Amino acid sequence: MTILEAIILGIIQGATEFLPVSSSGHSVLIPDVFNLTPPSLNAVAIAHLGTLLAVLIYFFTDIWNIAVGVLVGLRDRNPMGTTESRLGWFIVVGSIPAAILGLTLEDYFEEIFASPAIAAGFLLVTAALLVVGERMLSGEKDLSKMSWYDAIFIGVFQALALFPGISRSGSTIVGSLIRGLDRETAARFSFLLGIPAILGAGLLSVIDLIGAPGLADQIVPFAVVFVVSAVSGYGCIHFLLQWVKQRSLIPFAVYCVAFSLIYLIFWVVLA
Number of neighbouring beta carbons within 10 Å of residue 214:
8
For residue 111, what pLDDT is reported?
Answer: 74
For residue 63, what pLDDT is reported?
Answer: 94
Reduced to 3 states (helix: H, G, I; strand: E, B; else coil), residue 138 is coil
Q: What averages of pLDDT result for each successive group of 10 residues across the chain (271 residues)?
A: 83 88 81 71 79 92 94 91 92 92 77 79 92 79 89 93 88 92 90 86 71 71 91 94 88 94 83 61
Q: Which domain holds residue 69?
A: 3-270
Are the C-beta atoms of 39 and 205 separated by less than 8 Å?
no
Residues 6+ apart with CB under 8 A from 164: 22, 24, 25, 27, 28, 109, 112, 113, 118, 119, 122
Print burial letters for 2-11: b (CB count within 10 Å at least 16), e (below 16): eeebbbbbbb
For residue 36, what pLDDT is reported?
Answer: 67
pTM for this prediction: 0.87
Closest CA to 182 of 191, 169, 173: 173
Q: How far out from the chain centre does Cα 44 lie? A: 14
Q: Say how many domains are in the chain.
A: 1
Closest CA to 104 of 185, 63, 159: 159
